[in-house]
Amino acid sequence: MPIRMKVYHRGPETLVAAADEDLLGKTFRERGLKIEVTAFYAGDHVTEEQLLAHLRLATIGNFVGKETIEAATRGGFVAEEGVLWIDGVPHAQFCVM
């Protein structure tokens, strides 16, 4: 399953938003939580290696989907205990402080 990634630059911050492609355009809800996988994530198709290369330069990361979360976890950007599951879909974030 392909990963889609979009990079945003604002001042000193670099945000990488990435999601499993098949989740684009979908909304997930559970226990009062909601995540919409919008055009915010709909950037380029990337490999795991390309995603991790961008994450090494990022100050903020936002991830949705099993494939994307697994890649970010293998790269050391997400810990399993930091993953929030919403309606069976994993979501995680990281921030460099």
pLDDT tens, position by position, 58-67: 999 999 999 9
Other beta carbons within 10 Å of 74:
11
- Class for domain 3-95, per CATH? alpha beta
Q: Is the pLDDT of residue 68 over 90?
A: yes
**Total-model pTM:** 0.92
pLDDT mean across residues, the chain: 95
> From start to end of 31-88, where are the E strands?
33-36, 44-46, 60-64, 84-86
pLDDT band at 97 (very low <50, low <70, confident <90, very high): confident
Query: CA 79 to CA 72: how far, in whole Å?
Result: 9
Q: Tell me the pLDDT tens digit for each residue of 19-57.
A: 999 999 999 999 999 999 999 999 999 999 999 999 999
Q: Residue 79 gets which letter from DSSP?
A: -
